[in-house]
Structure 1
């Protein structure tokens, strides 16, 4: 058992993978907590797909695909925020339009090439076991900047998430805060692509935060608990990947999903079994109190 736990740490590539997986998971939860609180999980999916045409452009022009992907994601996020200000259309409608358009554009751009390469495949499915020291440093620095930005804007983002109209009446710059959150979601997604890839990145952004939401009603506790769940899930997924030679990104997501399902069933206050027990107790009390 001891060897099972220690062997992965003897490999430098696994040490890098653990570092990037934990950093990415924690950063995604810190940002994703507000995404879950606002009920806007769809934006994570839209931004993940919006990154795709940028990566495709980087692939075609042989430039840094992470930077071109981030630029495309931020541009799309800004477009969604600005168009969503039109009360005629709901935010999820605008997101759906850009979700489809972005992925369609990416497919068209990629189709101009004679063949696909491993670089593009790694973007879709992650390449966490092939990172170098520079990748770890980049993810750590960007992640620290994101967490700092969230800490500075936490009160304002919470106010907007809970009641936009009240926040606007209180004089908060709601549009600017929306833009800031969308940009931070984009950056969090981009730094997580190496861990789980474009296809699965939404799970890293949403699942740990949603799990923590089942277990607590306080945002601060939700963020801390979600970060712990995400980090533990990332480490567990990498252990399973190492020992059973399976896809790391997929296993990380499956571990996090399993933890969510356990919380959904067993959460002390909001779990399914707890709700069933309350209803059963209430029904029993009504029956016992009914006139004979």
Structure 2
């Protein structure tokens, strides 16, 4: 089998075409959003929302609703509960996040175990990329279009909010509103990524591309190009590996993205571990001519 056949063979199957399209859409959206999550320090919140939507997805299946509806409701509910616990008690934010998302995730696991369904609801947890239906793909396309439109339209305001919320407030912007927009997009993005990698691995797609781009550039505009590129490359390589090696597609995608991050972490210019070690050691100093010992006259 030559290289061209290796590349084109997966496209002979409809399920693989849908899987590739869904993965690339999820990869681009998660990567773009991850730039702001990394800058605002909301990576843990992304983990919380991605797990908290599980009961909403299960209830949506049970009621015959689009699963995006249930997931969005519980994503917003999780954010509201975290904010409520933090504002009305002495519990700190990280503890509030841990309490809310583990409780809602546990509720989702219980609902999965007792809800009769023709669909294997365990696929929500671990992903079912190769089982994406045409209807699911239409839903993913719609959600990605809405989320990307919001992020790109508000990108300047969101970037200012991420770097300096105080300055954003002084020029008339509402940090609370911008934070709510970011959290709303986060909830919808989790719904999209559920199709690709499942609840457990969504956080990797929401954090790894942005963190990788952060190591490669300090410019937000460049990060918004680097992160999707990294995510798309890792996703494509992961999909091809899962197809030819018969391994988990979601796990393979995340593993490839993590491998790219590890490589950048080691060798990125100026920020890479190897380069920083070389810079600390520096060139060995040559002795000055005046410091050289004088030859003894014979």
TM norm structure 2: 0.88
Partner of 1:274: 275
Q: Is the alpha carbon distance of 1:73 and 1:154 closer, same or farther for their aligned partners in structure 2, counting shifts above 3 Å?
A: same
In the alignment, does 2:102 pair up with 1:100?
yes
Q: How far apart, in 1, do the equivalents of 2:11 and 2:112 lie?
A: 37
Spell out the pairing of 1:187-266 with structure 2 (5 A cutoff): 187-266=188-267
Partner of 2:136: 135
Q: How far apart, in 2, do the equivalents of 1:270 and 1:41 lie?
A: 21
Partner of 2:52: 50
Quote the RMSD (CA, aligned, Å): 2.4
Q: How many pairs align? A: 288
Contact 1:212 / 1:226 at 8 angstroms: preserved in 2?
yes
Spell out the pairing of 1:145-156 with structure 2 (5 A cutoff): 145-156=146-157
Deviation at 1:214, TM superposition (A): 0.8
Partner of 1:9: 11
Q: How far apart, in 2, do the equivalents of 1:164 and 1:12 lie?
A: 46
Q: Which runs of 5+ in 2 are unaligned?
A: 292-298
SS across alignment from 1:119? coil
Spell out the pairing of 1:48-87 with structure 2 (5 A cutoff): 48-81=50-83, 84=86
Contact 1:77 / 1:183 at 8 angstroms: preserved in 2?
no
Q: Which runs of 5+ in 1 are unaligned?
A: none
Q: Is the alpha carbon distance of 1:131 and 1:154 closer, same or farther for their aligned partners in structure 2, counting shifts above 3 Å?
A: same
Q: How far apart, in 2, do the equivalents of 1:134 and 1:200 lie?
A: 23
SS across alignment from 2:269? coil
Q: Is the alpha carbon distance of 1:117 and 1:261 closer, same or farther for their aligned partners in structure 2, counting shifts above 3 Å?
A: farther
Deviation at 1:105, TM superposition (A): 2.4
Contact 2:209 / 2:228 at 8 angstroms: preserved in 1?
yes
Q: How far apart, in 2, do the equivalents of 1:78 and 1:151 lie?
A: 25
Deviation at 1:32, TM superposition (A): 1.3
Deviation at 1:118, TM superposition (A): 4.7
Q: Is the alpha carbon distance of 1:114 and 1:123 closer, same or farther for their aligned partners in structure 2, counting shifts above 3 Å?
A: closer
Q: Is the alpha carbon distance of 1:209 and 1:98 closer, same or farther for their aligned partners in structure 2, counting shifts above 3 Å?
A: same
In the alignment, does 2:180 pair up with 1:179?
yes
Q: How far apart, in 2, do the equivalents of 1:195 and 1:56 lie?
A: 17
Q: How far apart, in 2, do the equivalents of 1:163 and 1:240 lie?
A: 42
Q: Is the alpha carbon distance of 1:269 and 1:116 closer, same or farther for their aligned partners in structure 2, counting shifts above 3 Å?
A: farther
Deviation at 1:61, TM superposition (A): 4.0
Deviation at 1:73, TM superposition (A): 1.0
Q: Deviations over 1:183-230 (max 9, x none)?
A: 101101101101111111111111111111111111111111110111
The farther-off stretch of 245-254 and 5-14 is 5-14
Contact 1:76 / 1:98 at 8 angstroms: preserved in 2?
yes
Contact 1:78 / 1:179 at 8 angstroms: preserved in 2?
no
Q: Deviations over 1:76-104 (max 9, x none)?
A: 12333455567965433332221222123
Partner of 1:167: 168
